[in-house]
Chains A and B, each alone.
Chain A
Amino acid sequence: MSDGPLIVQSDKTLLLDVDHILSDECRRAIASFAELEKSPEHIHTYRLTPLGLWNARASGHDAEMVVDTLLKYSRYAVPHALLVDIAETMSRYGRLRLEAHPVHGLVLVSNDPAVLKEVTRGKKIAPMLGLPLDDETIIVHPGQRGFLKQALLKLGWPAEDFAGYVDGEHHDIDLVQEGWKIRKYQELAAEGFWHGGSGVVVLPCGAGKTIVGAAAMAHAKATTLILVTNTVAARQWRDELLKRTTLHEDEIGEYSGSKKEIRPVTIATYQVMTTRKKGLYAHLDLFDAIDWGLIIYDEVHLLPAPIFRFTADIQSRRRLGLTATLVREDGMEGEVFSLIGPKRYDVPWREIEAQGYIAPADCVEVRVTLTDAERLNYATAEPEDRYRFCATTLTKQRVAVALARQHSEEQVLIIGQYLDQLDALGQELGVPVIKGDTPIKERERLFAAYRTGEIKCLVVSKVANFSIDLPEATIAIQVSGTFGSRQEEAQRLGRVLRPKADGRGARFYSVVARDTVDQDFAQNRQRFLAEQGYAYRIIDADEVLSAD
């Protein structure tokens, strides 16, 4: 029996012993086809999924390589059935190809007539197809490129898209590397995307996704539409592009609720794109306003479902998805794969962290014992009010304030869900509060002041959760939050994970009321954070208060 670092489980998970001498080599080998599910301190778990295997096929790996890798590094014998299954799954990708035919336009091609026959018989697929040209080629109705890919993926026969892209309107864009340098992995990511045509680049929060986007634009040298989550993020993109590329202010347009500019590079928000007037999407024309050469989707894991539908219509344009995670809470990973494209580049968080680009975070759960009165109130509260009740107790507030005061020398961010609680905290600490109703201008002003260090402490609500760069934050204190959703955790941690100028470590506090549902949610949080490999410990509120 070989003594490899990898254990293959029957549920298609792979366990990697990180303390093993070969673990780095093995990690690199399996990263191309298996998805990292969790990476706690000793054993990392990867999972083999059809999508992951197809992603590997898309980037040029074959089943033999996957099987060889598993056999090479596996500690125990690998069940034959599993290997057969892998080969079977991988052979499905690329059996069908979408190609551009000189006469008939888009065609579906396969060297395997049986497969072609099987899929064309599908009820959903038949209407998208026209006449067969021969045994191996069928005409695809114009405009069905995206929908066909979607439907084929659902059938388990993902099609490889060789139909090519329109170049779009030419526009000169170059990177300006003055005072900064593009990082190796960012360059590789942009190149990986460019060679693949379309696809998704997975980079952790704070790893500089914007720069990958800018580099991709420099490759494309064409008009670009950038879709982002909200207006603040749109402005950050604009600032970043102005700083990093040859683009001028009048070349970049913002297309949001307040402004409707269409320029060679246009940044639009998801929200405006999905706004409906009288049941119709009012701003769809934007997709056709300019002959776009590149479309960038920021935070693909949050892409709203309607955007997928529009995306299906624009399959002939190059698409780049940027995200920190391929996991979607709504399980629409398949849509991302078929409509935006396979994964083109992926760097796990830890790897970038090890390279020093992300500050290592220290996660601390502060357990607060409620007073007897509070406990009694909590116990008698209606079930639906319970979380709010324990999350906003005065005792918790006291601890949060004490923590903020302890770190008064550092850049502190207090994050919460309930506005009264946030207001109370802001008042007590005498710091500004950013909520949903804070005007964009004011928000930007506060964020800017925070970045320069003028303001040391900010209290933010949910609205501040997505895509705002606050690279100087070193301490995050979470007082309340929606029920332990994985995404929110990732975002919150992202706040404090951005690289620090002086290389200091960041700390993530969550204040939790003992023996309440709050603690149950904290357990989910602990699991998620530990799975991501962060150190996690629990301390008692008394420790905080006594140090105060």
Chain B
Amino acid sequence: MSTVSFADELRSRNDAELACLFNLRPDLVTPVPSDFSALAARANSMPSLIRAVDGLNKWQLDVLTVCTILNEPFAKSDVTALTEKAAGAVIDDLWERGLLYKDGAKYRIVSNVRVRIGDEPAGLGPKAPTDVIYAFAQLKKAPEAAMTMLERLMWGPPRGQIGNLKKPGEAIAWLLEHRYLIAMDSQTVVLPREVALHLRGGKVFAANSATAPVLEGTTRKQKEIDRAAVANISTFLRWCEELAHNWSDEPPVALRSGGLGVRDLKHTAEHLGVEEVCAGFVAEMLFISGLVVIDTDDQIMPTSAFDIWLTKSHEERWRGLVTLWLETSRVSGLIGKADQKNIAPLGPELDRAGIASLRTTTLALLHENPELDPKVSTLLNRMKWLTPGRFNGEYIEWALREAEWLGLTGQGALSSFGRALIDGADDLGVESALPQPVDHILIQADNSAVAPGPLTVELANTIGTLADIESRGGATVYRFSEASIRRGLDHGQTGDQIKDFLKRTSKTPVPQPLEYLINDVAKRHGRLRVGTSNSYIRCEDEALIQQITVDKKLDHLRLRKLAPQVLISDIEISEVIATLRESGYLPAAENSTGILVSAPAIRRAKSRPKPPRVISDFQNPSDVVISSAVRALRAGQKASAHKPREVPRTTANETLALLHQYIEEEASLTIGYADTNGGVSNRLIDPLKISLGTLMARDHATGQVESFRIPRITGVAPAATE
């Protein structure tokens, strides 16, 4: 049972068989291993095995589990004896996947599979000690309580807690005596594997998992499914557009940890008129498509890719979004889940491995069952059977929810667009199914306008600047108001242009009150002008002002005449005054209330004082200070005399390597260990084992077995001899 023989077996496989293996486990060839022993090592490596085992369905996994119970090498018949006849085919399959390998006519198991399956496969305990031979007939004589106990343990977990081994109850005493239970320590007993198998009736699993659970649900008509899906698709695309536009108008500021804040998410949801989870999903889709981005100043804004996206056909947009959704590892469903802290959309904490394959598998299942809107519980059962290793009911329900939002499904069943996408069709049929864009609006006397369908992009943009959206859906309802018309004027259109545009695009005559409104606003727009300048010159003598404006020597002041008596300049006031004086004028400065500032001769800096630090001799300290300093020194001296030897710092890798070494040598050692406050103390310990980033060790100081978090260990050194 060495890896070499696995390598040998791999070497003996023919090309087709190898190709099959690589197809099933593509990670084995990325990158291509140098030789067969490297391949064997990789196939036996934990990451690759985890991936391979997780890819098995329940039935395959069950058969593999049974294989780990058997003594190697084992024959197919050994496996079928413990399961079903059909297991034979699965053995071949497992062999193809390189989880089993052949030893003559029999099979062996790749060594790390056992580690992956665990110490107690199928809830079976360890094997009984070799000296025990059971006579199961005597179980009939067992006390009733003992049988109850066995029944409780037979399907696993095989371990049970008892009060005290030294004073067991009658039933336990009987079981221990006949070795149907074996004591592990003073409080734990375990049911040996042979006993459990006997109790299970010679089969490992209670239920036969050879056939997949059946999907149940409502059957729908493809036409209705597609109708619903079209509504979903157009709604989703609209949400995307709407949200990006909204963020372009009022960009939210990202959290410091990255991501969209709770309040902004709420605001977004209100804006779209959907639930927060849905708004979060839309935001995520925009984010992963690169249509919005967290800018350098932490503002979340649409990118120029969004403008390009808008010019694409609906089908292209949809295909892009859905393809990304199928690939992404981000799980929008996690948004707002407050296990420890809030998970924000667009944040860094949304990635989960394996979610993409879960989505693909779910959709594939819908693909296999056309026109079926499956009951969620049956779908989850099926998924659990298909991917026991990766199953996560919550994730699957989210995936179904998102597929519906995206319009991959309609009324819960796969739409023909989704089907075309999965089949890799060139034309998904989205474009022809979506309502055709309209190029007109209907303006009504209440100053509202209705676009009775999706508007063309240019039209939507122009109307968007002139009117506020009041209601969305198949149609869009716009409302004209003073503010919205003003916005249009701010965008550089004139009142006449606006009226022309409306006359052109409206199928109905523009109502007279709306024209009045536009005229009114246009008339008032820009009547007040606002600008900035640094200084002004005013003079009641208009002739003098005139003279200054034509004075060549004052050209560089770039004076502008605002009124017959007022000039403004971008130049600072002091320079203007100086220049005027040089040119022979007699200006005086005035302050903000118009009062003459009479003595501007003394000049002062505008910036705040920042005097340099004073560097001087030390002052003589007071007696109190001196005496307390002495006390402190004495205390420090004493402390350093008792200071333990410092443990040298070691890097994480060194620490781990050293710990392993000491565990093997069973030697004592000293570690530096940081407590929760960051203080480092030295501990003298006997290391026992390492698991999950924790070192179990007996602490000499307390005599107790304690756990030490490895990242907290600052250094490791041989035990100090004091």
Contacts and interface: CB of A to CB of B under 8 A. Distances in A.
Asked whether A and B interact, the reply is yes
Interface of A: 1, 7-11, 13, 15, 17, 38, 40-43, 45, 74-80, 365, 515, 523, 526-528, 530-531, 535-538
A107 B445 CA distance: 52
A80 B444 contact: no
Contacts of A515: 520, 524
A182 B492 CA distance: 60
A376 B482 CA distance: 23
Given A15-B450, A41-B444, A76-B435, A9 B508 contact: no
B474 A76 contact: yes
B231 A80 contact: yes
Contact of B471 (A13, A78, A79): A13
30 contacts: A7-B452, A7-B453, A8-B473, A9-B471, A9-B474, A9-B477, A11-B273, A11-B473, A13-B477, A15-B477, A17-B452, A40-B446, A40-B448, A41-B445, A42-B442, A42-B450, A43-B442, A43-B450, A43-B452, A75-B474, A76-B435, A76-B473, A77-B227, A79-B235, A80-B410, A526-B447, A530-B447, A530-B511, A537-B513, A538-B516
A8 B231 CA distance: 11
A10 B482 CA distance: 26
Given A7-B473, A41-B444, 19 more contacts: A8-B473, A9-B475, A10-B235, A40-B445, A43-B442, A43-B444, A45-B471, A75-B453, A76-B231, A76-B453, A77-B234, A78-B231, A80-B231, A80-B411, A515-B524, A523-B517, A527-B446, A530-B446, A536-B445
A279 to B, nearest CB: 43
A15 B450 CA distance: 9
Given A40-B448, A77-B227, A538-B516, A10 B442 contact: no
A75 B451 CA distance: 13
B450 A79 contact: no
Contacts of B474: 7-9, 74-77
Complex A-B, nearest 4 residue pairs according to Cβ-Cβ distance, in ascending order: A9-B473, A530-B446, A76-B474, A77-B231
Contact of B445 (A11, A79, A535): A535
Contacts of B571: none
* Chain B CB within 10 A, most for which of A10, A365, A535: A10
B472 interface: yes
A527 B512 CA distance: 13
A78 to B, nearest CB: 6
A79 B231 contact: yes
Interface of B: 227-228, 230-232, 234-235, 273, 404, 410-411, 433, 435, 442, 444-448, 450, 452-453, 471-475, 477, 482, 508, 511-513, 516-517, 520, 524
Contacts of A528: 446
Contacts of A77: 227-228, 230-231, 234, 474
A530 B516 CA distance: 15
A7 B475 contact: yes
Contacts of A80: 228, 231-232, 404, 410-411
Contacts of A7: 452-453, 473-475
Contacts of B524: 515
A47 to B, nearest CB: 10
A10 B274 CA distance: 9
Contacts of B232: 79-80
A114 B231 CA distance: 34
Contacts of B230: 77
A23 to B, nearest CB: 13
A64 B442 CA distance: 32
Contacts of A75: 435, 452-453, 474
Nearest to A71: B227
Nearest to B444: A40
Contacts of B231: 76-80
B475 A365 contact: no
A523 B514 CA distance: 10
* Chain A CB within 10 A, most for which of B230, B447, B516: B516
Contacts of A40: 444-446, 448
Nearest to B454: A76
A10 B273 contact: yes
A38 B470 CA distance: 13
A17 B512 CA distance: 21
A9 B471 CA distance: 7
A10 B448 CA distance: 18
Nearest to A539: B512
Contacts of A536: 445, 511, 513
A527 B473 contact: no
A76 B472 CA distance: 13
A17 B441 CA distance: 12
A86 to B, nearest CB: 14
A7 B411 CA distance: 20
A41 B449 CA distance: 11
B472 A11 contact: yes
A76 B444 contact: no
Contacts of B471: 9-11, 13, 15, 45
Contacts of A76: 231, 234, 435, 453, 473-474
A1 B435 CA distance: 7
B29 to A, nearest CB: 44
Contacts of A38: 446
Contacts of B450: 15, 42-43
Nearest to B238: A10
A537 B234 contact: no
A130 B227 CA distance: 50
Given A41-B445, A526-B513, A536-B445, A15 B508 contact: no
A75 B410 CA distance: 18
A515 B516 CA distance: 12
B447 A527 contact: yes
Nearest to A527: B446
A9 B513 CA distance: 27
Contact of A526 (B273, B410, B446): B446
Given A9-B474, A15-B477, A77-B234, A530 B444 contact: yes
Contacts of B516: 538
Nearest to B473: A9
B297 to A, nearest CB: 33
B416 to A, nearest CB: 14
A535 B512 CA distance: 10
Nearest to B509: A41
A530 B445 contact: yes
Contacts of A79: 228, 231-232, 235, 473
Contacts of A42: 442, 444, 450, 508
A237 to B, nearest CB: 34
A80 B450 CA distance: 23
B508 A41 contact: yes
Contacts of B482: 523
* Chain A CB within 10 A, most for which of B230, B446, B448, B475: B446
Contacts of A74: 474
A15 B447 CA distance: 16
* Chain B CB within 10 A, most for which of A1, A78, A80: A80
Contacts of B234: 76-77
A74 B228 CA distance: 13
Contacts of A527: 446-447
Contacts of A8: 473-474
A365 B517 CA distance: 13
A15 B475 contact: yes
Contacts of B446: 38, 40, 526-528, 530-531
Contacts of B511: 530, 536
A80 B404 CA distance: 10
Contacts of B472: 9-11
A7 B472 CA distance: 10
A78 B475 CA distance: 12
A41 to B, nearest CB: 6
Nearest to A75: B474
B473 to A, nearest CB: 3
A40 B232 CA distance: 30
A386 to B, nearest CB: 17
